[in-house]
Amino acid sequence: MSRYPQCVDRRDRRSAAPPSARPGRRALVAPDLAALAGPTSGVAVLPHRLFWQADRHLDLDNAHLLQWMYETVLREASSVEELRAWLDGPTLVRLWPQLFLPRGVRRAWEERHPVLRASVAAR
């Protein structure tokens, strides 16, 4: 006999809510990975709205900084135009398994783009 008087559903109410980047902010997903044509090398200067530091220069030839920029843009972008400007589709697919993202962001992108989920499964 269970100690609980009724069956406990392990799914919480958040599972029915739209995926979020953080509380109160819905995850933004690009409709087409092929349209993402952002920089993949060189030095990028993120807008202050995305990166709140005085020095916003990022050396994208440094793999850690490239990954960090993708995590930041995926969390903070407020328009599809920002996603297109700062992300590159093939690079996103390659980096996807290593990106540290909020659960809602990861879920929203993988639901829209199954190739991302497949890249995680392939690892």
Weakest mean pLDDT among 8-22, 34-48, 62-76, 91-105:
8-22
Tell me the CA distances in angstroms from 52 to 14, 20, 45, 86, one per residue in order. 29, 21, 11, 16
pLDDT at 44 over 70: yes
Token digits of residue 29: 């997903």
pLDDT at 118: 83
pLDDT at 55: 80
Q: How confident is the model at residue 32 (pLDDT cuts 50, 70, 90)?
A: very high
Q: Report pLDDT digits (tens) over 64-117.
A: 999 999 999 999 999 999 999 999 999 999 999 999 999 999 999 999 999 999
**Residue 31 and residue 83: Cα distance in Å, rounded?**
10
